[in-house]
Amino acid sequence: MNSRINKQVEVKQLGLIDYKTAWDEQERLFATIVDRKLQNRVCPVEEQQLTPNYLLFCEHPPVYTLGTSGHAENLLIDEARLTTELGATFFKIRRGGDITYHGPGQLVGYPILDLDNFFTDIHRYMRLLEESIILTLADYGLKAGRIDGLTGVWLGYDADVNPEAGSPRKICAMGVKASRWVTMHGFALNVSTDLRYFNHIVPCGITDKAVTSLAAELGYEVPLSEVAARVQHHLSTLFEMKIIDN
C-alpha cells in the first residue's frame, strides 16, 4: 500500500458567499495542493508530505458563469441589464462546460482533491460526482440519471422508453478543471433555486431541454444543509473518503 496516499477530506461549509470570494478560496487551496506536489518531487521520500483534500459547500448570490468551451451568445441578456434588472454578476472562468447560473437555494459543491490520493481518471471522477447526486435524489424518491453526451444529472433522462418520467430536465450542472491531477470547480444542484433566472441563458448551451429543482419536483422545500449532508455521505462512500468536518 502506498503510504503517501491521503484519503482525508476537510469539509468547509462556506454558507452564502460571493462567487469571486469562493473562487479565490478555491484557487488558494488548489495552489496549496499543487505546490506541495511539486515540493514532494524534489524531496527524499522520507521528507515528502501528504497532499490535502478539500470539499467546499456553499451557495452564491445570483451569478452567471461561462466556461472556457462556452459561447457568449448563450447569455441572452445584456451584461448591464443583468446587473441592474436581475441583481446578478457574470464571470468567465477556467472550467469545462458552457454557461450556467448559481443563486440562492442552489447547493454548490467544490471538491478540491488530489486525485493521486484516489484514482487518476477524470472520466471516472465526473461519473462519481454525478452518481453522488443521483443517489442523493434517490433518497428523496426521485429517479435521476445521465443522458449520453451531456454532463450533469437529469430527471426524465429515459423519457424515450419511460414516458411517465416526463420530458428531460436538468437538476444538476457540472463543470470541473484539473491540473496535475488536482481538481477544482464542481457541481451545482438546484434545491430550491428560483428557476426564472435560467430564462436569461441557454443553460449549458442546451436549447431543447428544461431545468428543474428538488423543490419543483417534490412540491415542497428541503433544507440546503440536509441535502448537503446527503451529498457528502454519498461522496465519502463513493470515493472512500475519510471526512474531516470544519
Catalytic residues: 204
Query: DSSP of the chain, one letter per residue?
Result: --TT---EEEEEEEEE--HHHHHHHHHHHHHHHHHHHHHHHTS-GGG--PPP-EEEEEE-SSEEEE-TT--GGGB-S-HHHHHHHH--EEEE-SSSSSEEEE-TTEEEEEEE-BGGGT-S-HHHHHHHHHHHHHHHHHHTT--EEEETTEEEEEESTTTTT-GGG-S-EEEEEEEEEEETTEEEEEEEEESS--GGGGGGB-GGG-SS-EE--HHHHHSS---HHHHHHHHHHHHHHHHT-EEEE-
113: phi then psi, degrees, rounded to nearest 5: -120, 145
Count of positions (residues) in the chain: 246
CA distance 147 to 45: 44
Residue with cell string 452518481 = 131
CA distance 24 to 26: 5
